[in-house]
A and B are shown apart, each in its own frame.
Chain A
């Protein structure tokens, strides 16, 4: 009867391929997302080299279009998204005092789907040309683009999108159902709150993208007519669907970054976060308004003054909750005992940078002005200030802050500061001049420009800045490699942290908490430390801990869909059918094989608590 088989220990590669542990999945997301971040960065560097001087011929126009498309797609879907999921996986269950996520198997499946989607997209470079219709894939450019490039785009994002959607549902359920006793919603750390709202946005924003991508692939593969005006199709439908997904996507990316900044600012100011409930409210409000503004990407398509005005006002309204957040961070620092660690440097650098991106956002939200800014480098400057100056700076803050929790080692602070200053100065050098390039009339998405139009100097500065950012990133990689050779850090609470994730010993045990902690207020761990306690007060006696079994099925399900997509791209329907059948067989096996997990026995947990090693 009992299927609680004893603990199967897997090791080496098999351990990583079959893991359902959220902490390991977080590391997988971090490595894969970091890898794609570097690929996207190399694509950006090639573009900046091409634009370093007028009438350059470093890359051909066609290649430039592919670089441009792949840079945007890779950075949004395969770098920023997985890096956010990396931190959500590594931190959220710990912050709410949970032993695990709600659906560990689904969590692993989400990772592998994302990973194989990214691999599929990048294979396009080797298999007949990358997509070249921009990351927005506007029809009819995308429907008529020759070669398999856009098919790779559609199917790569489709596969990884399924992974993101199930990941979002997983975190919603985890946060609603699995909080420790006493962890009420209004005691949740801000990062968990932002992860919660982001997951909600994923749930409602990704299905439109799914449908949009289906329509695009039906048009390309099966000769459907959704976006073919000759047969009654309408290209504006693509734009609406894409931005109904695409605008919330911006907030999906930025909110966890806000959350990381909130944790870092509070920890290194030695104060509780100023205006906690206002921060929560602002987070939820930004999430809600994120769905009301998609038409500001379409002011110039001719929807008329009424539509434009409504969406302009809704867009500007988002500045209000965002302003609330900015001021609360400033007030948190005000009067605090600020420690300028590397993580804090990133957080402090983030604040003015993101404000600049927000200000140009309000400028773009004015439809009449947008007619001038539209499709110019001003827009490029704006969204890089938001996405690099906001999302990426926040993620770097989170990386330095949570690295000890994820890898049981601290990153070198000196190298971290070199990374910060080169990247931060490089970033402003790259993108600040682009505002002026845009105002001077340089259009975006062009592979070259003429000399004698006053565009040379600023483009040169911009390219030099990009090199500085690349150097900063190399310093980070060196830092990570050095840290890997170091021993565990002496303390499991290196920053004197406030939240539950720092209450766990090094190395983080598989079951997170030997005893579920009792939460007695906001900044649960800080409260205990302030009361003179050594650790959290447990909410339960030591007992057997139930854990999920590892499984190879998520990997095979994803490989199945990956092969199915390759079959579709090359019109070999048999490969597609085999791939889909393989995925269904995996689903079938998952349904019929009882998998009740295993128990870590009480004695083992007690030994861990006493510090006895096997």
Chain B
């Protein structure tokens, strides 16, 4: 059997994402990559914590942040993580239509989150909080923007995956790809939980 043959229920392995050596390598390599990404975001968080009170004469975090908007964004992203879990469950049960459907919902939620972030940044700029106005501004837009960039990249990734594999069913080649996207998406979500806490909640009450 070739690795790119459509799997059927009879020959479906328990873990299609790591049934081949290529799959195992991707699985491990991606976990390691996420380890590096964790350090990357840790550095950004450290910098933000060092500079968050350096707003010069611009608005402070208390004046700036609107918790309802941020709460809505958080809900969108957390839900998208849930839908990607449903997609991975479908992957493990060889239900390809369901997998595509749930990933499509994940994509929509990710795009809504991005839209909300663009709206939020636009509001802040109008209130005088820009990338160049203070060290706080630079640190804020860099940290939150890096996360947004990761969401945008994830959206491009899942679009490519879905379009390329639309008529192909689940194979031993694309199963690891779907699975890794879901891992990535959870990681981006976990980073957002930290941003929500460290940037927004601490900005309101810290």
- Report if A and B associate in a common complex: yes
Shortest Cβ gap from A353 to chain B (Å): 33
Within the assembled complex, what's the spacing in Å between the Cα atoms of A234 and B53? 12
Within the assembled complex, what's the spacing in Å between the Cα atoms of A169 and B34? 11
Which listed residue (B28, B47, B55) contacts A176, Cβ 8 A?
Answer: B28
Contacts of B161 in A (CB 8 A): 591
Contacts of B136 in A (CB 8 A): 232
Task: Bits for A183-208, please: 1 = Cβ < 8 Å to B, else 0.
Answer: 00000000000000000000110111
Q: Is B25 among interface residues, defined by CB-CB distance under 8 A?
A: yes
Task: Give A225's nearest chain B residue, CB to CB.
Answer: B135
Q: Is the interface of B mostly helix, strand, loop or mixed?
A: helix
Shortest Cβ gap from B167 to chain A (Å): 13
Task: Give B135's nearest chain A residue, CB to CB.
Answer: A232
B1-51 residues with Cβ-Cβ distance < 8 A to A are 2-5, 21, 24-25, 28-29, 32-33, 35-37, 39-40, 43-44, 46-47, 50-51
Q: Is A397 among interface residues, defined by CB-CB distance under 8 A?
A: no
Contact A224 to B28, CB < 8 A, known contacts A203-B36, A592-B160:
no
Contacts of A511 in B (CB 8 A): none
Shortest Cβ gap from B142 to chain A (Å): 7
Q: Is A228 among interface residues, defined by CB-CB distance under 8 A?
A: yes
Contact across chains for B25 and A204 when beta carbons are under 8 A apart: no
Task: Bits for B159-185, please: 1 = Cβ < 8 Å to A, else 0.
Answer: 011001000000001000000000000
Which listed residue (A103, A170, A212, A232) contacts B51, Cβ 8 A?
Answer: A232
Within the assembled complex, what's the spacing in Å between the Cα atoms of A170 and B40? 18
Q: Is A14 among interface residues, defined by CB-CB distance under 8 A?
A: no
Task: Give B30's nearest chain A residue, CB to CB.
Answer: A169
Contacts of A207 in B (CB 8 A): 36-37, 39-40, 43
Contacts of A215 in B (CB 8 A): 47, 138, 142
Q: Is the interface of A mostly helix, strand, loop or mixed?
A: helix
Within the assembled complex, what's the spacing in Å between the Cα atoms of A591 and B33? 18
Task: Give B177's nearest chain A residue, CB to CB.
Answer: A591
Shortest Cβ gap from A204 to chain B (Å): 5
B39-77 residues with Cβ-Cβ distance < 8 A to A are 39-40, 43-44, 46-47, 50-51, 54-56
Contacts of B28 in A (CB 8 A): 172-173, 176-177
Q: Is A3 among interface residues, defined by CB-CB distance under 8 A?
A: yes
Task: Give A211's nearest chain B residue, CB to CB.
Answer: B43
Within the assembled complex, what's the spacing in Å between the Cα atoms of A225 and B134? 6
Q: Is B194 among interface residues, defined by CB-CB distance under 8 A?
A: no
Contacts of B139 in A (CB 8 A): 226
Contact A232 to B56, CB < 8 A, known contacts A103-B29, A177-B25:
yes
Contacts of B33 in A (CB 8 A): 169
B125-150 residues with Cβ-Cβ distance < 8 A to A are 131-139, 142
Contact across chains for A592 and B164 when beta carbons are under 8 A apart: yes
Within the assembled complex, what's the spacing in Å between the Cα atoms of A594 and B4? 9
Contact across chains for B173 and A594 when beta carbons are under 8 A apart: yes
Q: Looking at chain B, what size class is its interface with the partner chain?
A: 35 or more
Q: Is A210 among interface residues, defined by CB-CB distance under 8 A?
A: yes
Which listed residue (B56, B132, B134) contacts A222, Cβ 8 A?
Answer: B132
Task: Bits for A18-32, please: 1 = Cβ < 8 Å to B, else 0.
Answer: 000000000000000
Contact across chains for A224 and B132 when beta carbons are under 8 A apart: yes
Which listed residue (B2, B131, B173) contacts A224, Cβ 8 A?
Answer: B131
Contacts of A219 in B (CB 8 A): 138
Contact across chains for B35 and A212 when beta carbons are under 8 A apart: no
Task: Give A203's nearest chain B residue, CB to CB.
Answer: B36
Task: Bits for A158-178, please: 1 = Cβ < 8 Å to B, else 0.
Answer: 000000010001101100111
Contacts of A170 in B (CB 8 A): 29
Contacts of B133 in A (CB 8 A): 231
Contacts of B142 in A (CB 8 A): 214-215, 218, 224
Contact across chains for B51 and A233 when beta carbons are under 8 A apart: yes
Contacts of B160 in A (CB 8 A): 588, 591-592
Within the assembled complex, what's the spacing in Å between the Cα atoms of A392 and B136? 43
Contacts of A244 in B (CB 8 A): 43
Q: Which of A3, A206, A214, A224 has the most CB of B within 10 A?
A: A224
Within the assembled complex, what's the spacing in Å between the Cα atoms of A222 and B132? 8
Shortest Cβ gap from A234 to chain B (Å): 6
Which listed residue (B32, B134, B137) contacts A172, Cβ 8 A?
Answer: B32
Q: Is A75 among interface residues, defined by CB-CB distance under 8 A?
A: no
Within the assembled complex, what's the spacing in Å between the Cα atoms of A368 and B135? 34
Which listed residue (A2, A173, A232) contacts B32, Cβ 8 A?
Answer: A173
Q: Is A337 among interface residues, defined by CB-CB distance under 8 A?
A: no
Task: Give A245's nearest chain B residue, CB to CB.
Answer: B43
Contact across chains for B135 and A2 when beta carbons are under 8 A apart: no
Q: Is A577 among interface residues, defined by CB-CB distance under 8 A?
A: no
Residues of B bordering A, CB below 8 Å: 2-5, 21, 24-25, 28-29, 32-33, 35-37, 39-40, 43-44, 46-47, 50-51, 54-56, 131-139, 142, 160-161, 164, 173
13 new A-B contacts at CB < 8 Å, known A173-B25, A214-B142, A231-B135: A103-B25, A176-B28, A177-B24, A178-B21, A208-B43, A212-B43, A226-B139, A232-B51, A232-B136, A592-B160, A592-B164, A594-B173, A596-B2
15 contacts between A and B (CB under 8 A): A3-B4, A173-B25, A203-B32, A203-B36, A211-B40, A212-B43, A223-B131, A224-B142, A225-B138, A231-B54, A588-B160, A592-B164, A596-B2, A596-B3, A596-B4
